[in-house]
Structure 1
Amino acid sequence: MPGDPGRDAYLAEGNAQQARKRAAADALIRDEGGRLLLVNPTYKDGWDLPGGMAEDNEAPEDAVRRELREELGLTVASLRFLCVDWVEPHGPWDDLLGFVFDAGVLSPQQAAELKPSDEEIAEHRFFEVPEALPLLPDRQRARAAQAWAVLGDGVPRYLRNGIAL
């Protein structure tokens, strides 16, 4: 029965013992020329899609909106889900759910107003997609390529290590 303290304690104990998943949320953002926005983080090598890790109990779409505001000063009105990727444990990291959302096309004015507003981002730049994808780390490259394909065919994808199932 809901509200029963004994039941709530039992469920809380179960919740505390269940696995926790890390979640990341990134965005595909384009300019009017169809070029893809990438950011160059200061804390790791290489380029990245804009976005980042979700905080405790934060929905992925809220995480990407927060990251875009914090890192680029960009407020996004709407997002469209493109894909989710389950990434197996690797190196020191546990598994991860990596979400990618379509954050749309920026007007020339919006693109010109972008500026790194967080110490985590050294620079940002729009790239042609064939130039952008090789700049991304392997795992993110596979996820970004699948998300880009969704823009073309409209079919959201569930991925496992970047491969559509």
Structure 2
Amino acid sequence: MDLLPFGEYAASLNRKRTAAGVLLRDDRSRVLLVETTYKPEWEIPGGAVEAEEAPWATAARELHEELGITRALGALLVIDHIPTQGVMPEGLAFVFDGGLITEREVRGIQSTDPEISSVGLYSLAEADRLVKAPLHGRIGAALHAVNSGETVFRESGRPPGFLSETVTLGP
């Protein structure tokens, strides 16, 4: 077997799109969702990872750009594999813990981002009507991860069929 020259090998490697979001929740486990101006489904704050940007930097940047919130992020809660969807290539979505947020803080958000038309706190059941099914699964997994202290793996928002669902964090 002949090996490719390193440059050719590197050029042949698969490229994946990457997204990162933030789970903000209140003391009743309602999650903060953003209504976008460019599609009917709601989202958690977040977006596409730019070239040479770490996913956690993306999550913090998007949180600030979309909602004007600057805060330290907590643990990585979810890693979700997203298969190819039409023109969108396969990818990975990361969800980081943004901590607790109060109703008062949410009411005070005045987004200047033209992509965001409104924000609100929603239960997991309410979110089911607002977000796509894979994101709903990701949000449920993220709430589980907050309570269990485990990073949760998903495939299109569902538990993977061949791997353990969780990895214990810490000692």
Shared fold, TM over 0.5: yes
Q: Structure 2 matches for 1:46-125, cutoff 5 A?
A: 46-107=41-102, 110-125=105-120
Is the CA contact (8 Å cut-off) linking 2:79 and 2:93 kept in structure 1?
yes
Q: Out of 19, 33, 36, which is 1:41 matched to?
A: 36
Distance 1:154 1:133 in 2: 24
Question: What does residue 26 of structure 1 align with?
Answer: 21
Gaps of 5+ in 1: 1-9
Answer with 39-48 or 101-110: which moved more: 101-110
Residue aligned with 1:99, SS = strand
Which structure has more helix as a fraction of its residues?
A: 1
After superposing on structure 2, the runs of 4+ consecutive aligned residues of structure 1 that deviate more than 4 Å are: 10-13
TM-score, structure 1 as length reference: 0.85
Which one of 134, 138, 144 corresponds to residue 143 of structure 1? 138
Q: Can you list the C-alpha shifts for 1:78-116, whole angstroms capped at 9, x where unaligned? A: 321111011111111110101111100024554343221
TM-score, structure 2 as length reference: 0.82
Aligned residues of 2:80 and 2:154 also touching (Cα < 8 A) = yes
The percentage of aligned residue pairs carrying the same residue is 34
Kept in 2: contact 1:87–1:98 (CA 8 A): yes
Q: Which residue of 2 aligns with 1:158?
A: 153
CA–CA distance in structure 2, aligned partners of residues 151 and 83 of structure 1: 10
Aligned-pair Cα RMSD in Å: 1.8
Give the whole-Å Cα distance in 2 for the aligned partners of 1:78 and 1:155: 16
Between the two proteins, the alignment pairs up a number of residues equal to: 156
- What CA deviation, in whole Å up to 9, does each residue of 1:10-64 have, x standing for no partner? 5444333322110011111013443210000111112111111111121111001
Instruction: Write the distance in 1 (CA, Å) between the matches of 2:39 and 2:60.
Output: 21
What letter matches 1:22 in structure 2? R
